[in-house]
Chains A and B, each alone.
Chain A
Amino acid sequence: MSVDTATVKRVARLARIAVTYAEAEKMKGELNAILGFVEQLDKVDVSGVEPMTSAVETTMRKRVDEVTDGDRAEDVVANAPMSEDNFFMVPKMVE
């Protein structure tokens, strides 16, 4: 499978990365080279094979459903580019 420039632009939109037409053109070639490389997998017969979901056979550890952390609002927003009263600030979304 290969992608065209319109698909690259659509994927960039999904990935929330602004790309110009010229960048999309360049990316198209690179992405197609990578997609061409992974096409080798078409030669593998995977019928009846279960997908690997965990590198180590293990049942996921569960813990008691209780509050173990919190009251750290200041720490949470400490690295925010914009914050006020321990809230993250973003551009206005609703007029």
Chain B
Amino acid sequence: MTDLTDLTIAEAREGLEKKDFSAMELTDAYLSVIDGASALNAYVTTVPEKAREMAAVSDKKLAAGEGGDLEGIPLGIKDLFGTEGVYTQACSHILDGFKPRYESTVTANLWADGAVMLGKLNMDEFAMGSSNETSYYGPVLNPWRANGSDAALVPGGSSGGSAAAVAAHLCAGATATDTGGSIRQPAALTGTVGIKPTYGRCSRWGVVAFASSLDQAGPIARTVKDAAMMLKSMASVDLKDTTSVDRPVPDYAAAIGRPVKGLKIGIPKEYRVDGMALEIETLWQQGIDWLKAEGAEIVDISLPHTHYALPAYYIVAPAEASSNLARYDGVRFGLCVPGDDIIDMYEKTRAVGFGAEVKRRVMIGTYVLSAGYYDAYYLKAQKVRTLIRCDFDLAFEAGVDAILTPTTPDAAFEPGAITDPVSMYLNDIFTVTVNMAGLPGISIPAGLDGKGLPLGLQLIGKPFGEETLFQVGQVIENAAGGFQPEKWWA
């Protein structure tokens, strides 16, 4: 029998239905490889007992022919999702020991469809980072290494644990979240598929908030089809989230295999930035050629405000974060550092509990929202956001079905290689526009660079155009083939 952990979600579902193996065997196979992969530091918590209980329930349902869409599929959950009775610490010291008494809507949807929880995945603290180096629980290592090198590489961030766990087959698929690129950038750096759906598609209820007008949950998976299967389960209409959009969830996997002949794919000239690796440029052209060969029509488009998305993001996201993170006061949950009085206690708790990057963003956010600066910063950034969205609206109104870009300006880098915050922010230069406009975006592994490291291409869709992204994404996946790292960590 092949190694059960090497099966995709779609393959594992087939095997479970045919009784080739049980949900318990599949879950045990994952628990055993997770144990042997501590070098990657992808998981911060594992829940073997809970996983086996859930697998036992799945086996009963499968035996009765009542299995859900993800029945028996073992998943990893980003530490940002509230999971009842299971540590949910957003990989921050300030949420020490936090075990929610509730379940996030997204994870509740997955369990309702039969998925099995393996544990919680490492991430940048409060999802603030692009390399998974800001986690209180230590950095995650990328399962990928350059040819002939044993130097460690970052998996990207903030969903670095999710991406590394999927790439290393430590779960069949993982949940992730994306505020400025936190699903797509790590997916690109680990050779996995990651989709950030349209804002409002997945409920934010029960997910630790970073920047509420930008945060969206989505899956990281090994294949386009697996990502489609997971998103169908994660997405829902949720009365508990007022920004959840009242729209039926389509069967995303059904869009896969539809021909792309005649679809208009836009190529934005503003994404050709200075200092972009030549290999990224070549890969982009390769993607264009693949889609052209399948009959898609390639059109040049202009998104003139692209350049301003990242600076506007670094006003909007910290501003919203400073407001959201005000709740960590040492009174209601997590860490508490005693002080002389209550203010002293707040200040000490937050000084000890937040890491350097989180403090920086809370400080920037507090500053731009402080008296006299609101109009110059936050209001201006929100106006720039309107202009960014208008750029996309014009392209879509002109008949473009999806937009093809690189996901990142380069491949994975070494831990400690980027120490300057602004340089780190530039990792999100191609992904952040999508969050600012509220659009869906998917990253698909499209090739390896000269050092043998994965690179991704991004497809950006119309609002609620996820089906088109899966449809076109599959064409890229078919042409590029899959990519797997060598198992050096086991």
Contact residues of A with B, CB < 8 Å? 1, 3, 7-8, 11-19, 27, 30-31, 33-35, 37-41, 43-44, 46, 49-56, 58, 60-61, 63, 72, 75, 77-82, 88, 90-93
Q: Are A56 and B200 in contact (CB under 8 A)?
A: yes
Bin the interface of chain B by size. 35 or more
Inter-chain contact A37/B367, CB cutoff 8 Å:
no
B residues whose Cβ falls under 8 Å from a Cβ of A? 97-102, 198-200, 213-214, 239, 242-246, 305, 307-308, 310-312, 314-315, 322, 326, 329-336, 338-348, 350-351, 354, 359-360, 362-364, 366-367, 370, 376-377, 379-387, 389, 420-422, 425, 437-438, 463
Q: Closest approach, in angstroms, between the C-beta of A70 and any C-beta of chain B? A: 14
Structural contact, B322 and A15, CB atoms closer than 8 A: yes
Across-interface contacts of B330 in A (CB, < 8 A): 81
Known: A8-B363, A38-B314, A38-B377. A16 touches B346 (CB 8 A): yes
- Are B198 and A80 in contact, CB atoms less than 8 angstroms apart? no
What 13 new A-B contacts, CB under 8 Å, besides A41-B311, A50-B383? A30-B421, A31-B367, A34-B421, A35-B364, A41-B315, A51-B386, A56-B243, A56-B438, A56-B463, A79-B334, A80-B331, A80-B333, A81-B331
A-side interface mostly = loop
Q: State in angstroms the CA–CA spacing of A16 and B383 once bound together.
A: 29
In the complex, the answer to whether B350 meets A3 with C-beta atoms within 8 Å is: no
Q: Which of B333, B381, B437 contacts A55 (CB 8 A)?
A: B437
Residue of A7, A12, A46, A81 touching B383 (CB-CB under 8 A) = A46
The answer to whether A55 and B438 have CB atoms under 8 Å apart is: yes
- B446 shortest CB reach to chain A, Å: 27
Q: Would you give 28 A-B contacts (Cβ < 8 Å), ordered by A?
A: A1-B376, A3-B367, A16-B350, A17-B351, A18-B344, A18-B351, A31-B360, A31-B363, A34-B360, A35-B364, A38-B312, A41-B384, A46-B384, A49-B386, A52-B382, A53-B382, A55-B243, A55-B437, A56-B198, A56-B438, A56-B463, A63-B239, A78-B99, A79-B97, A79-B333, A79-B334, A88-B332, A90-B342
